[in-house]
Structure 1
Amino acid sequence: MLRALDIRDMLIIDRLELEFQPGLNVLTGETGAGKSILLDSLGFVLGWRGRAELVRAGAAQGEVTAVFELAADHPARRVLSEAGIEADGELILRRVNTETGRKTAWVNDRRVSGEVLRALSDQLLELHGQHDDRGLLDPRGHRLMLDEFAQAAPAIAETRRAWAARRDARRALAAVQGQVEALRAEEDYLRHAVAELDAMDPQPGEEAELDATRRRMQGAERVRGDVARAHQVISGEGAEGLVSDAMRWLDGAIEAAEGRLDLVMEALTRALDALGEAETGVRDVLDALEFDPRALEAAEERLFALRGLARKHEVAVDELASFTDGLRRRLAALDASEGDMADLEAAMRAADTAYDAAAAALSELRRDAGLRLSAAMAAELAPLKLDRAVFEVDLTPADPGPEGRDEVSFRVATNPGAPSGPLSRIASGGELSRFLLALKVCLTGDNIGKTLIFDEIDRGLGGATANAVGRRLARLADGAQVLVVTHSPQVAALGAHHWRVEKGVSTGPSGEVTTSRVVPLDDSDRIDEIARMLAGDTVTEAARGAARVLLGDADAA
């Protein structure tokens, strides 16, 4: 609820402080007195886009402060929470506009953007008039209004859940279908590659082992001939045999040499032993260098085959085993895809069925609410002198979405036999205002916590019709807050609180200055103001008497 409005140096207002009350608040005054400036100023502090030049001539800046009272469950608290702003029971909005056009805003002394102000505005206040295009004339809002009337929030929540499950099921199926299509496109390659790799059966570390074996065999082939020749030289056929022959020959001459060959024989014995050891060692080496040429050929062939496969698949040789496992998993996924696809398709059909059921239930709820709203509107339109008008809630199929598959539009026919059509095309300004008022009365449930402002919604109406408009405004204000800018004495008389907007001219240092002020009216002042509204410039006793009658009827009501 709007508690207070403080305006400083805005257009022709130098300083104005207003304290509003619950119930029906009425603002009256002559045309041009400044009533629209009040609304412009309120719209400014709420972040609405309006006039570009708002600062009063000669002032450095204009400033508007609005104080709202918030209930604990007020929807504006969600906006505040998202913006990181704390609020108790009071919400203070302040916005400044410099003469250069720079605008700065605060919410509870926390600086905020215009987007935050506008988000708060949507939860705090509604403005309606003959040129209302934010609600009744905007078909995009008709479904929201009908859903509020139908109290469809639980059904909408269920439809959203079903829509999300349907969307997820379709996405999961599409993802698997995409994977399967990609796998099927390379199925021949996968099967050939896996068969080829399985036949080769590469093992981690095998390349290094084969390469070492190959190098060892190649080295043995080069050196074995030399070792064999050395073995021949020092074996029994070579040096060892010659030393043995020498020892046998010297042995026959030992006695004749009378001891001079003893040392020679000892040396030859040692040499023969050393040659035996050398021959054994060389023979062992020859045995170690012994290899099958076919083994070398086989090692080279496998090594070259592994390296060829690695190049073919652009991986390292040691990664061939894991690469094979990866290909095998992709083949397994392809082979298992038929079962997966069947499961996902079944899940998608189940999600479609659940969504269809939820959307159908929501559509039925809306159809029923549409009939009830049309009937409620018929009851409200008759006292507003629109008893021959027909209001219809038109439901047409729309593309499925998270909130069902219905398109809702409000259509009217103002004359019997005439075809119905959109409100914006069929209803005149005065008729539109009354349709709007009747609709707001029927949809009182969506006004909880909001201040409703009606700007000259009764323009062009008088007599019993104006009285009916006033009574419906008073009904809207019961337990809520409604601000009405009006030229109708019948409406003004039904107000619980009444202000008069006045424009005056005063003389200042720089000449004459036009200012606007708002005066709260007591009972006596209200009689004079309503009499002025009835009689015009010259207020007669008869007009005062008529004003007393209106006020008396209002009190009786």
Structure 2
Amino acid sequence: MIEELEIRGVGGIIEASLSFGGDFIVITGESGAGKSSLVRAMEFISGRRAQAGDIHTHEENCEVRAVMTSAPIEGISEKYQPQEQTLIAKRSFSRGGRGRAVLQEQTVPLAVLARAMESNIVIQSQFAQLGLLEPQKQLELVDSCGGDNLKALSSELEKVFSDAIAAEKEIVALKKRRGESEKKFDGAPAVIRQLRTLELTPESEKEWELELSRIENAERERRLMSAAAEGMNDPENGILERLEKMARALRGRAESDGVRWEEAIEKALAGAQELSALISETRRAGGSEEDTEEAKERVEKKLGALRRIKRTLNIQSSSELIEYAKEAEAEIEWLKRSREELEGLEKKAQSLRRETSCLAMELRALRTSSAAELSRRVNEHLRGLAMEYALFSIEIEPLDRVRVDGAENVHFMLALPEQTPLPVGKNASGGELSRILIALQLSVGDEKLPGTLIFDEVEAGLGGKTALLAGYKLRSLSKRCRTILITHQATIAAMADQHFVVKRSGEETEIFEVAGEAREREIARMLSGDETSREALEHAKALLENNGEEPLV
């Protein structure tokens, strides 16, 4: 609970220091005195977003410091935890927009400050009544009356639901990756088989191109030798036949010097025969035409298959193709494994969905019971707030699907005389909403109450006996958590253990504690508008002596 509050430069407050000691504390003052500046300061230290307009007109920055008695706080680091049950928070903000939040003398993000203050300070204004209209808020209030069983079941549902969502996300991600892999490697098995048949290496294409070039050169040479052999050996017009005819003709004509002619003719014939034999030998060494064609076809088929695969896959080199094949083999193997993984995930998700549904139904049963208990408590307190004519109830609306917090909505209903229940927002006046809010605060479990609960004119619109009854209830609430009430009701102010007054002097707002005669004068002012009125002073003194109750005449 809050013990000390120091304010500098907020709203109309240049500087103020408050020390709280009572359970039920009231803050009073004339309209326009600056009570709203005090509320802004409390909101500021609670983590509300700051605005330059919150700073006093004569100041460049503002600062609020709070000292609180606090239990350990869930969700924040150990170094920011209360020391010997003491928590110190400080926050500053400048017109330039720079701010600083501090916990236990260490700078922290604003979110950490707000998290630390959630269990220590809660501010309820007339606008807090609107919170009663929020389904989530209504659900939280119902759960607060469900005890440890409901809390544990709600936590279990949240975990199982989160696990189910995580499993669904895994399924979606796995299916997406499988789809991408199947698309990318569509037809890969056939490609892999072809590459294995080709026995592809990074240098295969160059080697096959060189082999094809050698075969084509050999083919050209074979054609050349064939043509040469035909020219040499044609029986009618071949070179050998013509050469022999010419030799016979020359032998008959060259009788003089016949030896030389004979030798020359023999040499010519022998050379032609040797050339013919060499051509024949070269032809035989080059292999048959069938062998050459077969070798050429085999290499062309391999090159053609390789190039088709490259074009189809838009791959430029054999090395890239080999890498693609390796990746494809790995992905095909992964696709086989992931099919089993997907089946397992789908079974897991199905099991989690069933478990979620079962937990949600159990939670609904507990909530129904908790809603009935909360309704009973609220109606009991409403009777003590002069609303015995109204019946508060809580409607549990089943939903078709399970959410993280269950499978139902909660609706706060109010039935007025001779009327069917309607949502509180449609059926309750502002004063009735104020009393319902007080009744709810009184009805929830202690674990839902903060260290300090601040009501900002929440009793506005109430008067006479109703205001007095509201005061009794607020004083009762203060026995469970420190309760600070900003009020215009003299009867309620007279019930407090501690009383602060807000006054405005020029552009400055002052806040000070009153007791004794000073408090009597403030109560008198609240009663009649004149703190010096004898009748009002006597009335104020009587109220204080009777803790807000009107004296019996």
Instruction: Judge same fold: TM > 0.5, yes or no.
Output: yes
Matched, 1:419 2:416: no
- The alpha-carbon distance between structure 1 residues 312 and 544, as it changes in their structure 2 partners (threshold 3 A), is closer
Tell me how far apart the structure 2 counterparts of residues 312 and 12 of structure 1 sit (CA, whole Å): 78
* Alignment match, 2:374: 373
* Alignment match, 1:385: 386
Q: Which moved more, 1:327-336 or 1:376-385?
A: 327-336
Q: Which moved more, 1:389-398 or 1:526-535?
A: 526-535
- The alpha-carbon distance between structure 1 residues 106 and 326, as it changes in their structure 2 partners (threshold 3 A), is closer
**Identity level (%):** 25
Deviations 1:297-346 (A, max 9, x none): 32333333333333233334456566567667777888899877665543
Matched, 1:163 2:156: no
Residue identity in the other structure for 1:313: L
Deviations 1:485-515 (A, max 9, x none): 12333322332222223344xxxxxxxx354
* Conserved 8 A contact 1:532-1:543: no
Tell me how far apart the structure 2 counterparts of residues 502 and 185 of structure 1 sit (CA, whole Å): 76
Residue identity in the other structure for 1:495: A
Matched, 1:519 2:520: no
Tell me how far apart the structure 2 counterparts of residues 212 and 483 of structure 1 sit (CA, whole Å): 97
Paired residue secondary structure (2:128)? coil
- The alpha-carbon distance between structure 1 residues 304 and 140, as it changes in their structure 2 partners (threshold 3 A), is same
Shift of 1:110: 5.6
* Conserved 8 A contact 1:42-1:66: no
Residue identity in the other structure for 2:143: D
Matched, 1:90 2:87: yes
Residue identity in the other structure for 1:73: P
Aligned pair partner of 2:412 in 410, 413, 417:
410
* Alignment match, 1:137: 133
* Alignment match, 2:270: none
Residue identity in the other structure for 1:23: D
Shift of 1:35: 2.3
* Conserved 8 A contact 1:380-1:438: yes
* Conserved 8 A contact 2:27-2:502: yes
Q: Which moved more, 1:517-526 or 1:415-424?
A: 517-526
Shift of 1:178: 5.3
Shift of 1:434: 0.7
- The alpha-carbon distance between structure 1 residues 550 and 527, as it changes in their structure 2 partners (threshold 3 A), is farther
Q: Which moved more, 1:374-383 or 1:361-370?
A: 361-370
Residue identity in the other structure for 2:72: D
Q: Which moved more, 1:385-394 or 1:110-119?
A: 110-119
* Alignment match, 2:100: 105
Aligned pair partner of 1:127 in 123, 134, 141:
123
- The alpha-carbon distance between structure 1 residues 404 and 460, as it changes in their structure 2 partners (threshold 3 A), is closer
Matched, 1:63 2:62: yes
Residue identity in the other structure for 1:139: P
* Alignment match, 1:451: 452
- The alpha-carbon distance between structure 1 residues 476 and 444, as it changes in their structure 2 partners (threshold 3 A), is farther
Tell me how far apart the structure 2 counterparts of residues 37 and 199 of structure 1 sit (CA, whole Å): 81
* Conserved 8 A contact 1:63-1:97: yes
> How many residues end up aligned between the 2 structures?
488
- The alpha-carbon distance between structure 1 residues 394 and 227, as it changes in their structure 2 partners (threshold 3 A), is same
* Alignment match, 1:356: 357
- The alpha-carbon distance between structure 1 residues 143 and 203, as it changes in their structure 2 partners (threshold 3 A), is same
Residue identity in the other structure for 1:15: E
* Alignment match, 2:431: 430
Q: Which moved more, 1:174-183 or 1:299-308?
A: 174-183
* Alignment match, 1:29: 29
What runs of 5+ residues in structure 2 fail to find an aligned partner? 229-278
Residue identity in the other structure for 2:66: V
- The alpha-carbon distance between structure 1 residues 133 and 117, as it changes in their structure 2 partners (threshold 3 A), is farther
Tell me how far apart the structure 1 counterparts of residues 52 and 207 of structure 2 sit (CA, whole Å): 84
* Conserved 8 A contact 2:493-2:548: no
Tell me how far apart the structure 1 counterparts of residues 129 and 544 of structure 2 sit (CA, whole Å): 37
Shift of 1:133: 4.8
Matched, 1:74 2:80: no
* Alignment match, 1:551: 547
Paired residue secondary structure (2:308)? helix
* Conserved 8 A contact 2:120-2:451: yes
Paired residue secondary structure (1:298)? helix
- The alpha-carbon distance between structure 1 residues 3 and 299, as it changes in their structure 2 partners (threshold 3 A), is same
* Alignment match, 2:260: none
Taking structure 2 as the reference length, the TM-score comes to: 0.73
Deviations 1:68-112 (A, max 9, x none): 32535224x62x77xx968743323232444xx746333246666
Paired residue secondary structure (1:5)? strand
Shift of 1:184: 8.6
Tell me how far apart the structure 1 counterparts of residues 525 and 336 of structure 2 sit (CA, whole Å): 90
- The alpha-carbon distance between structure 1 residues 112 and 344, as it changes in their structure 2 partners (threshold 3 A), is closer
Tell me how far apart the structure 1 counterparts of residues 119 and 285 of structure 2 sit (CA, whole Å): 95
Shift of 1:370: 0.7
Tell me how far apart the structure 2 counterparts of residues 55 and 200 of structure 1 sit (CA, whole Å): 79
Tell me how far apart the structure 2 counterparts of residues 70 and 196 of structure 1 sit (CA, whole Å): 73
* Conserved 8 A contact 1:384-1:468: yes
Paired residue secondary structure (2:70)? coil
Residue identity in the other structure for 2:90: L
Shift of 1:174: 4.1
Shift of 1:437: 0.3
* Conserved 8 A contact 2:13-2:510: yes
Matched, 1:400 2:402: yes
Taking structure 1 as the reference length, the TM-score comes to: 0.73
Shift of 1:531: 4.8
- The alpha-carbon distance between structure 1 residues 367 and 216, as it changes in their structure 2 partners (threshold 3 A), is same
Residue identity in the other structure for 2:512: V
Paired residue secondary structure (2:397)? strand
Tell me how far apart the structure 1 counterparts of residues 51 and 303 of structure 2 sit (CA, whole Å): 84
- The alpha-carbon distance between structure 1 residues 3 and 286, as it changes in their structure 2 partners (threshold 3 A), is farther
The 5 A counterparts of 1:18-417 are 18-21=18-21, 23-48=23-48, 53-57=53-57, 59-61=58-60, 63-69=62-68, 71-75=70-74, 78=76, 88=83, 89-98=86-95, 102=97, 104-108=99-103, 122-133=118-129, 135-151=131-147, 152-175=150-173, 190=187, 194=190, 197-198=193-194, 201-205=197-201, 206-220=204-218, 292-293=291-292, 294-315=294-315, 316-317=317-318, 323=324, 343-398=344-399, 399-413=401-415, 415-417=416-418
Tell me how far apart the structure 1 counterparts of residues 508 and 332 of structure 2 sit (CA, whole Å): 85
* Conserved 8 A contact 1:194-1:328: no
Residue identity in the other structure for 2:153: A
Tell me how far apart the structure 2 counterparts of residues 51 and 180 of structure 1 sit (CA, whole Å): 51
Shift of 1:353: 0.8
- The alpha-carbon distance between structure 1 residues 448 and 436, as it changes in their structure 2 partners (threshold 3 A), is closer
Shift of 1:349: 2.6
Shift of 1:37: 2.6
Tell me how far apart the structure 2 counterparts of residues 102 and 322 of structure 1 sit (CA, whole Å): 57
* Alignment match, 1:266: none
Deviations 1:334-390 (A, max 9, x none): 889987766554333322211111211222221111111111111111110011211
* Conserved 8 A contact 1:4-1:17: yes
Tell me how far apart the structure 1 counterparts of residues 321 and 353 of structure 2 sit (CA, whole Å): 45
What runs of 5+ residues in structure 1 fail to find an aligned partner? 230-281, 505-512
Residue identity in the other structure for 1:487: H
Tell me how far apart the structure 1 counterparts of residues 343 and 49 of structure 2 sit (CA, whole Å): 55
Tell me how far apart the structure 2 counterparts of residues 331 and 412 of structure 1 sit (CA, whole Å): 64
* Conserved 8 A contact 2:500-2:514: yes
